Amino acid sequence: MIQSHTPMDDALAMIFSGTSSVIMIAIYVVFAIAAWKMFSKAGYAGILAFIPIVNVIILVKIAGYSGWMSLLYLIPIAGWIFAIFVALRIGANYGKGAGFSVFLLWLLPPIGYFILGLGDSRYAPVRH
């Protein structure tokens, strides 16, 4: 019997391989380290950045929304739109503009979180 080799086989092998798991864990750890200092500046315990669902709730609270609003991330299109609003509000609360918020807090969050956490920006909630 002749076995065929398809691109789907390669994709499934990568998904279920240990290499992709290690890469995803590394990306998550970098995100959590970046968010740690940002959480601390906002008055939350930095260790909360490592807890998967709690870190999203804290990000939403830092943005000035209720923690329950983080459930909007579960709705497909509304989640993307809400993520933009959260990024804009977080940027405003740290004294950054809309360009910084969209490009570095929404598109490349670990870089933006490192800049907010390790930079000289201060958390000052803005009344919206």
C-alpha distances (whole Å) from 56 to each of 6, 44, 71, 87 are 37, 13, 10, 12
At residue 23, the pLDDT reads: 86
Q: Look at residues 88, 87, 86 and name the one whose alpha carbon lies nearest to residue 66.
A: 86
At residue 126, the pLDDT reads: 85
Structure token digits, residue 22: 């290690």
Q: Look at residues 45, 40, 68, 42 and name the one whose alpha carbon lies nearest to residue 56.
A: 68
Could you say which DSSP state residue 44 is in? S
Question: pLDDT tens string for the chain (128 positions)?
Answer: 566 666 667 777 766 777 777 888 899 999 999 999 999 999 999 999 999 999 999 999 999 999 999 999 999 999 999 999 999 999 999 999 999 999 999 999 989 999 999 999 999 998 86
Q: What is the pTM of this model?
A: 0.82
**Distance, CA of 99 to CA of 112 (rounded, Å):** 11
At residue 5, the pLDDT reads: 65
At residue 1, the pLDDT reads: 58
